């Protein structure tokens, strides 16, 4: 068979135009208005995916942030992931808006609190677990049920953290919740693989947004400890988290399920505190 001399060039052009293979894919991203989530949402949109953002604020309260990142109200669904009814509702709404359940669901919603471990308030502990663990479970279940009912594949991406393996002062319950989310992800991966549903996690390091950024900028002791803990020496750019999420969403990771992609600047190599 004669070779098509233009084949390689056409393939290269396609890859350059759609490097992640996500053009036309549909994505639901929970926790989308946080410092990492909004960067990931923008990255999905830039990759050609149709992305629906979900977070706790009402559409009116979220409007300014959505506009700043070139999203409109039609891209946003308000949801408290602690509520089974609200989670079911956003999956129903997403399915109606997209014409089918999203191809990819990024289970990203989460929160962190900082207290000495023996002084951690019980109500803060319960709320953290309700958002990080219960919310992840409810979201993943709702998505998986719709994929199975429709007889189609799906892709779950959970966000964990490098502290799932390495204790960090004053966020012990957060670390425990992320270790539990990793175990939960592996359960989804194991049971749903026969149905063409993948589940993986990404585990960022100390990302330069939110509480970590504020502590880095305002607390010299924290900054010194964090610098020692990160072999690469600097806070993580949230864009690196977005790149990892795009990879796990893309066909490039098609043979991965039950895996955790650690992107932490080497922080989990060994304790340095």
The CATH code of the domain at 22-264 is 3.40.50.720
Q: What is the DSSP letter of 32?
A: T
Cα angle 132-203-120, degrees, rounded to a multiple of 5: 40
Q: At what angle do helices 135-150 and 172-192 cross, to 10 degrees?
A: 10
Q: What is the DSSP letter of 108?
A: -
> Each residue of 217-238: pLDDT tens digit?
888 888 888 888 899 988 999 9
Active-site amino acid positions: 174, 178
Q: Which of 107, 113, 145, 140 is nearest to 126 (CA)?
A: 113
> Each residue of 193-206: pLDDT tens digit?
999 999 999 999 99
Say what the pTM is.
0.92
Rounded Cα–Cα distance for residues 161 and 18 (Å): 29
Q: Which of 193, 200, 177, 178 is nearest to 247 (CA)?
A: 200
Q: Residues 114, 210: contact at Cβ < 8 Å?
A: no
Reported as a pLDDT band with limits 50, 70 and 90, residue 212 is: confident
């Amino acid at each position: 068979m004669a070779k098509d001399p233009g084949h390689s060039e056409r393939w290269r052009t396609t890859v350059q135009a759609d490097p992640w293979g996500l053009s036309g894919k549909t994505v639901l991203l929970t926790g989308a208005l946080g410092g990492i989530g909004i960067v990931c949402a923008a990255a999905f949109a830039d990759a050609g995916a149709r992305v629906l953002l979900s977070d706790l604020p009402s559409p009116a309260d979220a409007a300014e942030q959505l506009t700043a990142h070139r999203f409109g109200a039609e891209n946003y669904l308000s949801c408290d992931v602690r509520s089974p009814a609200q989670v079911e509702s956003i999956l129903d709404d997403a399915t109606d808006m997209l014409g089918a359940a999203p191809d990819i669901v990024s289970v990203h919603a989460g929160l962190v609190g900082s207290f000495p471990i023996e002084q951690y308030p019980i109500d803060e502990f319960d709320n953290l677990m309700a958002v990080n663990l219960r919310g992840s479970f409810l979201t993943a279940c709702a998505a998986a049920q719709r994929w199975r009912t429709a007889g189609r594949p799906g892709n779950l991406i959970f966000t964990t953290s490098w502290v799932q393996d390495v204790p960090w002062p004053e966020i012990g319950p957060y670390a425990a919740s992320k270790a539990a989310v990793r175990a939960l992800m592996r359960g989804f991966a194991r049971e749903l693989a026969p149905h063409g549903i993948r589940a993986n996690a990404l585990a960022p390091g100390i990302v330069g947004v939110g509480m970590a950024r504020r502590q880095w900028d305002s607390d010299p002791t924290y900054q010194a400890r964090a610098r020692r803990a990160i072999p690469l020496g600097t806070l993580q750019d949230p864009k690196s988290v977005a790149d990892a999420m795009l990879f796990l969403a893309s066909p490039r990771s098609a043979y991965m399920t039950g895996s955790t992609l650690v992107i932490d600047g080497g922080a989990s190599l060994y304790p340095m505190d």
